[in-house]
Chain A
Amino acid sequence: MTRMLLAALVVALAVVAPAAASEQNPTLPELERELICPTCHELLAASTSPIAERMRAFIRARISAGDTKSEIKAKLVDQFGESVLAAPPKSGFNLLAWVLPLAGIVLAAGVVGYLAYRWSRGRRDEEEAAGPSGNGRFALDAERERRLDEELARYDA
Chain B
Amino acid sequence: MPGRLRIALQAAAVLVVALLLALLGWQVFQKDDAPDLGRPAPNFTLPHLTSDQDVSLASFRGKVVVLNFWASWCGPCKDEAPLLESAWNRYKDQGVVVLGVDAQDFDVDAQRFVDRAGITYPIVRDKHGSTLGHYGVTGFPETWFVDRQGRLVGEHVAGPLTEEDLERNIRIALAEPA
Contacts and interface: CB of A to CB of B under 8 A. Distances in A.
B1 A118 contact: yes
A66 interface: no
B80 interface: no
Most interface-central of B73, B106, B107 (chain A CB within 10 A): B106
B127 A50 contact: no
Contacts of A98: none
Interface string B50-78: 00000000000000000000010110000
Contacts of A79: 105-107, 127
A111 interface: yes
Interface in B8-44: 9
A118 B3 CA distance: 13
B106 A54 contact: yes
Interface string B91-118: 0000000000000111101000000000
Interface residues of B, number: 13
A37 to B, nearest CB: 9
Nearest to A111: B9
Interface string B120-140: 000000011100000000000
A39 interface: yes
Contacts of A58: 106
Given A58-B106, A111-B9, A80 B73 contact: no
Contacts of B9: 111
A38 B71 CA distance: 12
B128 A51 contact: no
B104 A54 contact: no
A51 B71 contact: yes
A80 B74 contact: no
Interface of A: 38-39, 50-51, 54, 58, 78-81, 83, 111, 115, 118
28 contacts: A38-B104, A38-B129, A39-B104, A50-B73, A50-B74, A51-B71, A51-B104, A51-B105, A54-B73, A54-B106, A54-B109, A58-B106, A78-B127, A79-B105, A79-B106, A79-B107, A79-B127, A80-B104, A80-B127, A80-B128, A81-B127, A81-B128, A81-B129, A83-B128, A83-B129, A111-B9, A115-B1, A118-B1
